[in-house]
Amino acid sequence: MAAEGFYRIALGVEYKGSRYRGWQRQASGVLSVQETLEDALSKVADSPVSLMCAGRTDAGVHACGQVVHFDTRAERSMKAWTMGANINLPHDISVSWAKVMPAHFHARFKAIARRYRYVIYNDQIRPAHLNEEITWNHRPLDEQRMAEAARYLVGTHDFSAFRAGQCQAKSPIKEVHHLRVTRHGKMIVIDIRAGAFLHHMVRNIAGVLMTIGAGERPVEWAREVLESRIRRTGGVTAHPFGLYLVQVEYRDEFELPERYIGPHFLTGFSELAG
């Protein structure tokens, strides 16, 4: 709850994670998105700002739908929070909106769903563009096989086989609402929505689906990995470069601003809508 005399402000944030050791503030001298954004907002507030986020992204992971909140006594317009932060931020972090929230709003604990997209560039030749914003896979991938395998992972399951060893979640049981695989020219997009995710869960799912798409394992292997509940059965964790936090959902009572579901270079593909 926001303390008496404080305003609770929510922000929409997007960032390219390549330069950062993840969202969370690190030891002194280690660059993080949280510390960089807090420093910029503190200049606007003329006092220290401490942020809470909807989802802590790992090193190299991007976001175009991150939601954060902070409490402050500073009285500023929403335009001042947005534009003031952006003036003080580096080119790879941007605040897209700001809104005064009720005291019971919490960016993390009031979120009811999170959505990620994993973007693969599938071609023999390494791309010169977007090289830290997509994952390059030189092997021909069959997106139909990947989509078929993805169906085994939809629903409520024990995702221990897709969980990093250092994961701190209390339970490995998560509900995946949708898991779609679509091709758009040279790009393949894995789109996944769930109430919450385990550490490295999306990257481990992407690794399994790419292995199946390359024909190295049968489609049913996705089910076998899931049912094993053993991480080592699922192969290598996919690179972070193509992973984006694209949307965080809240109950209608909070009336948060709506933006496109990114990343921005995918917004022209109508098949990805919804």
Q: Judge whether 58 counts as a catalytic residue.
A: yes
Q: Tell me which of 39, 46, 58, 252 is the catalytic residue.
A: 58
Phi-psi region of 138 (alpha: psi -120 to 50; beta: other; left: phi over 0): alpha
Residue 209 to residue 214: CA distance in whole angstroms: 9
Residue 33 to residue 255: CA distance in whole angstroms: 25
Q: How far is CA 125 from CA 82, 129, 137, 140, in A?
A: 40, 12, 9, 11
* Eight-state DSSP code of residue 62: E
Alpha carbon dihedral 65, 67, 73, 75, in 10-degree steps, equals 30
Query: Is 260 annotated as ligand-binding?
Result: no
136 φ/ψ angles, rounded to the nearest 5 degrees: -90, 130
Phi-psi region of 143 (alpha: psi -120 to 50; beta: other; left: phi over 0): alpha
In the block, residue with structure tokens 């481990």: 204
CA torsion sign, 98 to 100 to 102 to 104?
A: positive
In the block, residue with structure tokens 């601003």: 257
Residue 65 to residue 47: CA distance in whole angstroms: 26
In the block, residue with structure tokens 């994993």: 118
Which residues are marked as active site?
58
Annotated binding residues for substrate, written as ranges, equal 116
Annotated binding residues, written as ranges, equal 116
